[in-house]
Chain A
Amino acid sequence: MTAIVTAEGLRKSFARRDPASPPVLDGLDLELEEGAVLALLGPNGAGKTTTVRILTTLLRPDAGRATVAGHDVVRDASRVRELISLTGQQVAVDDKLSGAENLTMMGHLAHLPRRAVRDRVDALLTAFDLADAAGRRVATWSGGMRRRLDLAAGLLTRPRVMFLDEPTTGLDPRSRQALWDVVRGVVADGTSVFLTTQYLEEADRLARRVALVDGGRVVAEGTPAQLKREVGEAGVELVLASPADAALVAPALAVPTPEGARVRVPTDGSVAHVRAVLSAVEATGVVPEHWEVRAPTLDDVFLALTGHAGQERAARPAGVAA
């Protein structure tokens, strides 16, 4: 397979605006195979949006190189723009226009042949299940419908690569499901998709490969199954009264001592293993406040791979969506 998107050693810092801020990208490498879906998975502030902005020609990297279909995103920016579409974190459609008006406008701006615009707009409205609402102002639409329109606006030209920056953040589960179906359809039509997300489940459902980002670099890459295997399919999670208790319990379970009062032990979920874990806890004499068996979450994968929880990093450059 050939790579349609590549990034090598991308660096970006907003230190000019805020000297105290750490670099947003610190040598990021990645590759998206043609026709595949790559999910960039990470917490807020990890550098996901900055990566997308560089790959879509909106931002110049301080160092490193990135290409789309062989074209350099800095030197060949205008060529790259003809091959991609970007659906950002915010829904970029005009509320005061109808769905059809929005798409028609985007069709003209995408320089489709004038006579082709109408057919393409109608086809997309139908494909995205928006035909019934097409004549109504978008202000009256639901969040899920607006997001679908936003995606459709990026598909007027049949891009080679579609960039989706946290496309389902803020959507209810049903709209999220509908959006995933739409993305699968886009991929089935041959478009490669570059996706960022905070949700392991989303990466799991959509992506063939997942790149885990933290602190501006890719800390792990693989199929969703490979990544999850790193932390075990599920874990016994113990909530203890204090970090001191956790420091007593963790060694007995042969897991690293956590920063907080929460200890997690990977498990295959079998009765025998869970019982063995609980017995080991009991033997320390510490009584947990609460315990449960949980499937791995993004936080667990993060904890396992980076040693810290995947929460929002404090230092975020002012005015820049990280």
Chain B
Amino acid sequence: MRYLLRDVTTMSVRGLRLVTRDLDAMITAVVLPVIILLLFVLVFGGAVDIGTGYITYVTPGVILLAAGFGAANTALAVERDMSSGMVERLRSMPVAAWTVLTGHVVASLVKNLASTAIVFGVSILMGFRPEATPWEWLAAVGVILLFVAWITWLAALVGVLVRSPDAAGGFTFGVMFLPYVSSAFVPVETLPTWLRGFAEHQPVTPVIETVRALLSGSAGPGGEAALAVAWCLGLGLVSMVAAGLAFRARR
């Protein structure tokens, strides 16, 4: 335990190097979110009439969607470590081997921070005019990162459990649907009743609403924000503990 901080640091440096040198991961982090943003604003944007500019409405959703795509890279990277002999080697050394997961999560957080900045940048160029104070900005990014942390720990869990890269890749499919069936791209009122029930009570909707409220400077998202934080922290902790236990159990 004396070396825990050093191990986590070493693993984080490794995770960051692996991500920044992975062409797939970089395209997913840098290019894909921008394409999705353009797609939603330029292609669907004209048809969706929700009162305000669609770009203002959709930007937070694009960021969360991108986090889901990026998480698949994390699942893949963890799966690779589990099956490539890397974890075996670490387990035969006097290090806390699970820190290898922490390394991938830290890398994912940094990567998503960059994606978030890029999406906001492009979005502002295209006419998005957030009216948030610096504190509200900070809070919005904080909520986004909490969401990313949850999704990434979930991806790490998937990476530990699956036994092939294909199965790890299939993870994207699952998490991709959460933002679609939420208030990320269309108001939930426009959904059929049975779907609305799910959309209103799944974690992505409060996260989206909180980020939206913070960015538009409309004060006091209170309850929604508490719900968003509770969802992300709760699911994040559960995913993290489950990933840790699965990592220990899988031999």
On whether the beta carbons of B89 and A111 are closer than 8 Å, the reply is: no
Q: List which A48-67 residues lie within 8 A (CB) of chain B.
A: 56-59
With the chains together, A84 CA to B94 CA distance in Å?
10
A105-B14 in contact given A86-B89, A90-B85 (Cβ < 8 Å): yes
With the chains together, A154 CA to B85 CA distance in Å?
13
Partner of B17, one of A97, A110, A163: A97
Asked whether any CB of chain B lies closer than 8 Å to the CB of A309, the reply is no
Partner of B90, one of A82, A108, A109, A163: A109
Which chain A residue has the least Cβ–Cβ distance from B9? Answer: A108
Asked whether any CB of chain A lies closer than 8 Å to the CB of B201, the reply is no
Q: List which B71-126 residues lie within 8 A (CB) of chain A.
A: 84-86, 88-95
Asked whether any CB of chain B lies closer than 8 Å to the CB of A92, the reply is yes
Partner of B14, one of A86, A97, A110: A97
On whether the beta carbons of A92 and B85 are closer than 8 Å, the reply is: yes
On whether the beta carbons of A84 and B92 are closer than 8 Å, the reply is: yes
With the chains together, A97 CA to B17 CA distance in Å?
7
Partner of A86, one of B3, B18, B88, B95: B88
Partner of A59, one of B86, B89, B251: B251
On whether the beta carbons of B88 and A105 are closer than 8 Å, the reply is: no
On whether the beta carbons of A86 and B17 are closer than 8 Å, the reply is: no
Asked whether any CB of chain A lies closer than 8 Å to the CB of B129, the reply is no
Main secondary structure of the interface of B (DSSP, over half): helix
On whether the beta carbons of B84 and A111 are closer than 8 Å, the reply is: no
Which chain A residue has the least Cβ–Cβ distance from B11? Answer: A109
B interface, how many residues as a size bin? 20 to 34
Measured between beta carbons, the chain A residues less than 8 angstroms from B13 are 105
On whether the beta carbons of B92 and A56 are closer than 8 Å, the reply is: yes
Which chain A residue has the least Cβ–Cβ distance from B163? Answer: A319
| B26 vs chain A, min Cβ distance (A) | 12
| B81 vs chain A, min Cβ distance (A) | 9
With the chains together, A87 CA to B86 CA distance in Å?
10
Asked whether any CB of chain A lies closer than 8 Å to the CB of B218, the reply is no
Measured between beta carbons, the chain B residues less than 8 angstroms from A237 are none
| A43 vs chain B, min Cβ distance (A) | 21
Partner of A96, one of B17, B86, B93: B17
On whether the beta carbons of B7 and A109 are closer than 8 Å, the reply is: yes
Asked whether any CB of chain B lies closer than 8 Å to the CB of A197, the reply is no
On whether the beta carbons of A94 and B251 are closer than 8 Å, the reply is: no
| B14 vs chain A, min Cβ distance (A) | 6
On whether the beta carbons of B90 and A88 are closer than 8 Å, the reply is: no
| A150 vs chain B, min Cβ distance (A) | 9
| A62 vs chain B, min Cβ distance (A) | 13
Partner of A109, one of B10, B85, B251: B10
Which chain B residue has the least Cβ–Cβ distance from A110? Answer: B93
On whether the beta carbons of A108 and B6 are closer than 8 Å, the reply is: yes
Q: CB-CB contacts of A71-106 with B at 8 A, as 1s and 0s?
A: 000000010011011111111101011000100010
With the chains together, A129 CA to B235 CA distance in Å?
49
Which chain B residue has the least Cβ–Cβ distance from A102? Answer: B14
Asked whether any CB of chain B lies closer than 8 Å to the CB of A28, the reply is no
12 additional A-B residue pairs with CB within 8 Å, beyond A108-B6, A319-B163: A58-B92, A58-B251, A81-B92, A81-B93, A85-B92, A86-B89, A90-B85, A96-B22, A109-B7, A110-B93, A111-B95, A153-B89
- What 8 pairs across the A-B complex have the smallest Cβ distances? A90-B85, A92-B85, A86-B92, A96-B21, A108-B10, A92-B89, A56-B92, A81-B94
Chain A residues close to B by CB (< 8 Å): 56-59, 78, 81-82, 84-92, 94, 96-97, 101, 105, 108-111, 137, 153-154, 163, 319
**CB-defined A-B contacts under 8 Å, sample of 30:** A56-B92, A57-B91, A57-B92, A58-B251, A78-B94, A88-B88, A88-B89, A90-B84, A90-B85, A92-B85, A92-B86, A92-B88, A92-B89, A94-B14, A94-B17, A94-B86, A101-B17, A105-B10, A105-B14, A108-B6, A108-B7, A108-B9, A109-B7, A109-B90, A109-B95, A110-B93, A110-B94, A111-B6, A111-B94, A137-B21
